[in-house]
Amino acid sequence: MHRFVCCPTGDHNPLNDLQGAHMIGSDGVPMRGEVRLVDSEIQCETRSQEPVGLSLLWPVQGFGTVQLETTRLPPRDKPYNLHIELARHRLMRLTLKREEWGLFDYPGFEEIVAQINQARELFIQAQEHSEDLEAAARLADESLSLSMHASERTCQFHAAVFLSRRQQSGGFSHNFMGVSVLNETPLPSLTRHAHKAFDFVRIPTVWRAIQPTEQAQNFASIDAWVKACTTAKIPLRGGPLLNFGVRFVPDWMYIWENDFETIFELAREHIRRIVQRYAGQVSTWIVASGLHADNAFALNFEQIMELTRMAASITKHLAPNSQTILELTQPWGEYYARNQRTVPPLLYADMLTQSGVNFDALGLQFLFGIGSDGYHLRDLFQISVLIDRLANLNKPLHITAVGVPSESSAGVGGNGACDGGQWHTPWSDETQAEWIGALGRIALSKPYVESVCMHALVDGRCDAIPSAGLLREDLTPKPAYRRLAELRRSLQPRAAR
């Protein structure tokens, strides 16, 4: 058993709620097991005797509330100090990443180095006071706060250097900034907003909406958007063609939930129907999305891979000139700790590349800000590290959905945190704009990231994050819309501006 003690400091008491708490094993893969609160102690029980870490939504002084994790620790009788272990992990990751990025002799980095050194000194002091729980917690919290700010500044510094290099080498001559229109009606003003700030539009092809009954198909919304974007000469991205989440699967499909062969044939016919209809207008297809995570039919690993292979193959066959993307959702894999019928995202991505599935690129979703597993906020440093890790698979990457709220939800457990976390300050129009702009710069600074797509053009039409849109419901732009338009304009070649 792994035990962690926690001492409430300031106005925060993380023990009021173990939001997002789960265990993590080697390679960052979530582990199944029980995480429970007993008095003032977090107890983690798993069948494995290997070192494991604890991940949970944690308030950081002056930074916000973020999903963080400890180092991997062996089981022992004496409880670990959770504050110290969270601070240890962030300092360790920051040190390793700074080495990997080679950030030592760059002018202007000196202030960040001083912040890292100060965080390290406070961490050493926390260890020296380990027998005094309150003193150790206070010092570790101060160390964690400094290292969180330093790690964010580090990845932003790295992004600024490489974004400039990529721009100078002509890396933004293609369509690199997009937005999803979800279920909005293609009004002229919406098309105009999309065209002014973005290079392409993603149109959803949700099976549940297209085929509400087995005998009838409804393409009216998709047809309208295809016509509007084609008229405005906006490139189109379509998909997902296949997603087995409960919000995507038609109700009538559940009669076949124990008949994989029928599910396979129905899925193939659905994909064939859509790709044939729009092959001449859509230049990029999200072939499959979240098959590793959202699994309404409790499919096994072999069935998931078979469906993925089929979806990619038939799309390539029917639209040979289109780009095909396989999309990873909830990319830290929290769902795997709860559901044994799922596949860890990085294992799924690795198997796709090793097993010869015919696809062009991987997609990544970054959707945060609601109180549900997989949607708890990750900071910019964690996002940058994950993108780099996926680059090792030697496939181009697309950030296929980016979304955070522009309004704060109610607090959880009395600690003042938003349900899904918060970044620096409670979510607002300005905080959303700052976060999205920063993530866009970080992602686009990486030469293997080909595009970034926003999750929702308009508020109120998104089931996952209601206020994640770039336009309000009355279609007035938010600061995030203007921030992205400015970023796109600043990166375009001069002739294209």
Q: Say what the pLDDT of residue 238 is.
A: 97
130 has a pLDDT exceeding 60: yes
Phi, psi values for residue 239, rounded to 5°:
130, 175
Q: Say what the pLDDT of residue 410 is.
A: 45
Residues 431 and 297 reside in one and the same domain: yes
Residues 442 and 321 reside in one and the same domain: yes
Q: Say what the pLDDT of residue 413 is.
A: 37
CA distance 88 to 102: 21
Residues contacting residue 214 through CB under 8 Å, at least 6 positions apart:
250, 252
Residues contacting residue 281 through CB under 8 Å, at least 6 positions apart:
226, 229, 230, 236
462 falls within a domain = yes
Of 248, 233, 314, nearest in space to 276 by CA:
314
138 falls within a domain = yes
Residues 115 and 223 reside in one and the same domain: no
End-to-end CA separation in angstroms for the chain: 59
Q: What's the pLDDT band for 412 if we cut at 50, 70, 90?
A: very low
168 falls within a domain = no
Residue pLDDT, tens place only, 283-324? 999 999 999 998 899 899 999 999 999 999 999 999 999 999
Residues 157 and 182 reside in one and the same domain: no
Q: Please give the single-letter amino acid code of residue 314.
A: I
- The label of the residue with tokens 């409880």 reads 79
Residue 403 tokens read as 């979304």
Residues 135 and 43 reside in one and the same domain: yes
282 falls within a domain = yes
314 falls within a domain = yes
Segment among 185-194, 229-238, 483-492 with least mean pLDDT: 185-194
Is residue 137 within a helix (H) or strand (E), and if so which, with residue range?
helix 133-168
Q: Say what the pLDDT of residue 416 is.
A: 35
Give the chain's radius of gyration (CA, Å): 23
169 falls within a domain = no
Segment among 7-11, 263-267, 418-422 with least mean pLDDT: 7-11
Residue pLDDT, tens place only, 30-46? 999 999 988 878 999 98
Q: What is the DSSP letter of 478?
A: P
Segment among 119-123, 369-373, 431-435 with least mean pLDDT: 369-373
233 falls within a domain = yes
Residues 206 and 155 reside in one and the same domain: no
Domain that holds residue 292: 174-496
Is residue 477 within 8 A of residue 470, CB to CB? The reply is yes
Q: What average pLDDT does the chain have?
A: 92
Find residue 54's DSSP bridge partners: 23
274 has a pLDDT exceeding 70: yes
Residues 147 and 213 reside in one and the same domain: no
For the CA atoms of 94, 100, 105, 108, the dihedral, rounded to the nearest 10 degrees, stands at -50
442 falls within a domain = yes
58 has a pLDDT exceeding 50: yes
Which residue, 115, 136, 163, sits at the end of a domain? 163
Find residue 30's DSSP bridge partners: 24
Which residue, 107, 134, 163, sits at the end of a domain? 163
Residues 88 and 224 reside in one and the same domain: no
CA distance 90 to 37: 24
Residue pLDDT, tens place only, 75-124? 888 999 999 999 999 999 999 999 999 988 889 999 999 999 999 999 99
Residues 293 and 274 reside in one and the same domain: yes
Residues 412 and 271 reside in one and the same domain: yes
Q: What share of the chain is helix, strand, coil (3-state, %, to 5)?
A: 40, 20, 40
Residues contacting residue 77 through CB under 8 Å, at least 6 positions apart:
none
Residues 131 and 239 reside in one and the same domain: no
Residue 449 tokens read as 């990231």
Segment among 101-105, 155-159, 200-204, 306-310 with least mean pLDDT: 101-105
421 has a pLDDT exceeding 50: yes
Q: Please give the single-letter amino acid code of residue 488.
A: R
Averaged over 46-62, what is the pLDDT?
90
CA distance 266 to 252: 11
* More confident call, 466 vs 323: 323
- Number of compact structural domains in the chain: 2
CATH of the domain at 384: 3.20.20.80
For the CA atoms of 66, 70, 71, 77, the dihedral, rounded to the nearest 10 degrees, stands at 180
Residues contacting residue 210 through CB under 8 Å, at least 6 positions apart:
217, 218, 219, 222, 270, 274
Q: Say what the pLDDT of residue 183 is.
A: 77
Phi, psi values for residue 412, rounded to 5°:
-115, 135
Which residue, 120, 143, 163, sits at the end of a domain? 163
15 has a pLDDT exceeding 80: no
Residues 191 and 136 reside in one and the same domain: no
Segment among 322-326, 333-337, 370-374, 473-477 with least mean pLDDT: 370-374
Q: Say what the pLDDT of residue 497 is.
A: 56
